[in-house]
């Protein structure tokens, strides 16, 4: 097995340094969502977290905090019960995903870990702000990896000494750069991911669970927008939140039922279709995969639509006939979907004419809506 790439998806929009701000309460490592779903949502991390009597991950994070004196002086590390009336911060795990993709005849194993810098007030159980971040780690393998190998890959995301590849280091970097605004603010949230019947039929025909894909899509979209814009975003919790409450469970066994604010701007994403075409040439095959979607951003109280555009992304793969390489359609679709979401996140922050021409259904006619979105994102900083 050869390690090929580790991609740390780090936001670029926010560069504010830590100031001499009053302290925050360190609440440590937390799993987002219901405790009973923990093993299903985060199967590998849940296993890892049981090491050292359940304190393994929190200890690593705590040591990393201590290694940053400026930050450590700002964080109260005594795992207070949070009754004090100042803001707390937690590493809130949102998503753990292991996927395999057969690309160009090789088996890629991709681990994605997504977490939030969750700032909240425990006395009132209210959200202050939430900043998503992700680390993706990819390896090429000849064979399908076993559970021990997968666990080693996920463990590496938490333990590696390479700070650019470590989710905890990324979390700390993010914590150092955010600046929580004083007073009332505007909240953006991914409120829904849907699929048309034809898109859903392709997901099901590929043996995938449509609900799971929707949840993953919501997580990707949330992170893509927040990272590109450097903005906080209310956790989407698609499939996990009951009403406006979101549960978190900490390493010390304490729990939190956070009241999530009503979104002031709701972001929805509809996957309209997965289409593909195979072209045979003299020396090679060409496989074209396209994912079509609609992205909508609106202000629900005024029923004001800011953005409602059809978007798509295309992947073209050339296979030499002699190579006899087989492609798994779903893997290509999923890779293309992720690419589309990543690009949509960027366009919502800074619109690119060339991208619109190639990826927006209405091409340049979509520009005003994306520009309005860009302006709105600036107001959410």
Partner 1 sequence: MMAAAASAFAQRVEVKGIGTYQYEGGFFSSSKPTDDETAKAVALAKVNAWKNYVAKLNPSRQQGLAQHEKEALDNLDRFIIDSVVIDSAKDTDTRTVRVVTRVAFNDEAVNQFVASTTVGANGQSAARSQDSAFTFLFMARKATSITQFDARRTRIAKAEAAGTQAADGGVAATAQVTVGGSTQRKEDAVTYAVSSSQDLDTAMGDVLSSSGIEYIGYDDVVANCNAVPVKKFQSEFVDADELSPQTRAAVINAARACDIRYFAYGTIDTEVATVDPVTGNQKVFVSVRSQLWDIRQRLPRKIGSVGPKQYAGLGPNQSVAGRNALNDASRDLARTLVDQLNAKGIR
Q: Tell me which H or E stretch contains 370.
A: helix 367-379
Task: Kindly indicate which of the ranges 30-38, 63-71, 225-233, 279-287 contains the residues binding partner 1, using the contact rule CB under 8 A.
Answer: 30-38
The nearest distance, CB 349 to partner 1, in angstroms, is 19
Which residues are CB-contacts of 346 (< 8 A; sequence separation ≥ 6)?
224, 228, 352, 355
Nearest-5° angle of CA 143, CA 146, CA 150?
A: 105
Q: Find tokens 């605004």 and name the residue.
A: 181
In the complex with partner 1, the residue whose CB is nearer, 145 or 235, is 235
User: Cα separation of 342 and 336, whole Å?
Assistant: 10
Helix (H, G, I), strand (E, B) or coil at 103: strand
Among 4, 12, 16, 35, binds partner 1 (CB under 8 A): 35
The reply on whether position 21 binds partner 1 by CB under 8 A is yes
Nearest approach in angstroms of CB 70 to partner 1 is 15
Cα Rg, the chain, nearest whole Å: 21
Kindly state whether residue 255 participates in binding partner 1, applying the rule CB under 8 A: yes
Give me the least distance between CB of 5 and partner 1, in Å please: 36
Tell the smallest beta-carbon distance from residue 257 to partner 1 (Å): 8
Cross-strand partners of 313: 291
Binding of partner 1 by 126 (CB under 8 A)? yes
> Pick from 1, 16, 23, 277: which binds partner 1 (CB under 8 A)?
23
Q: Which of 130, 146, 93, 100 is nearest to 115 (CA)?
A: 93
Whole-angstrom CA distances from 188 to 45, 55, 191, 232, 269 are 28, 33, 9, 8, 14
Shortest reach from residue 299's CB to partner 1, in Å:
5
Residues interacting with partner 1, by CB under 8 A?
19, 21-24, 34-36, 85-87, 121, 123-124, 126, 128, 179-186, 247, 249, 253, 255, 257, 261-262, 264, 299, 301-302, 304
């Amino acid at each position: 097995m050869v390690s090929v790439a580790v991609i740390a998806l780090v936001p670029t929009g926010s560069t504010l340094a830590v100031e001499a701000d009053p302290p925050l309460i360190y609440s440590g490592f937390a799993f987002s969502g219901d405790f009973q779903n923990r093993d299903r949502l985060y199967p590998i991390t849940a296993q890892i977290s049981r090491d050292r009597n359940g304190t393994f991950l929190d200890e690593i994070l705590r040591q990393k905090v201590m290694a940053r004196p400026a930050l450590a002086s700002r964080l109260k590390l005594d795992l207070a019960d949070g009754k004090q009336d100042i803001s707390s911060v937690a590493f809130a795990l949102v998503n753990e995903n292991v996927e395999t993709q057969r690309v160009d005849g090789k088996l890629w194993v991709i681990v994605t870990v997504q977490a939030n810098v969750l700032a909240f007030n425990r006395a009132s159980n209210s959200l202050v702000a939430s900043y998503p971040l992700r680390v993706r780690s990819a390896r090429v393998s000849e064979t399908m990896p076993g559970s021990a190998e997968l666990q080693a890959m996920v463990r590496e995301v938490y333990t590696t000494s390479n700070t650019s590849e470590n989710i905890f280091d990324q979390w700390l970097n993010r914590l150092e750069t955010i600046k929580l605004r004083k007073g009332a603010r505007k909240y953006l949230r991914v409120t829904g991911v849907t699929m048309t019947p034809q898109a859903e039929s392709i997901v099901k025909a590929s043996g995938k669970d449509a609900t799971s894909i929707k949840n993953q899509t919501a997580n990707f979209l949330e992170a893509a927008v927040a990272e590109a814009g450097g903005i906080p975003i209310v956790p989407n919790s698609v499939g996990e939140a009951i009403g406006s409450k979101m549960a978190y469970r900490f390493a010390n066994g304490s729990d939190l039922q956070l009241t999530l604010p009503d979104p002031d701007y709701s972001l929805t994403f509809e996957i309209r279709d997965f289409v593909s075409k195979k072209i045979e040439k003299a020396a090679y095959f060409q496989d074209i995969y396209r994912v079509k979607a609609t992205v909508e951003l609106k202000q629900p109280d005024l029923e004001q639509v800011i953005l409602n555009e059809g978007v798509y992304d295309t992947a073209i793969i050339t296979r030499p006939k002699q190579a006899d390489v087989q492609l798994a359609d779903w893997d290509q679709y999923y890779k293309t979907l992720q690419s589309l979401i990543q690009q949509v996140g960027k366009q919502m922050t800074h619109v690119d004419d060339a991208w619109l021409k190639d990826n927006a259904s209405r091409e340049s006619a979509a520009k005003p809506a994306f520009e309005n979105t860009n302006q709105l994102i600036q107001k959410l900083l």
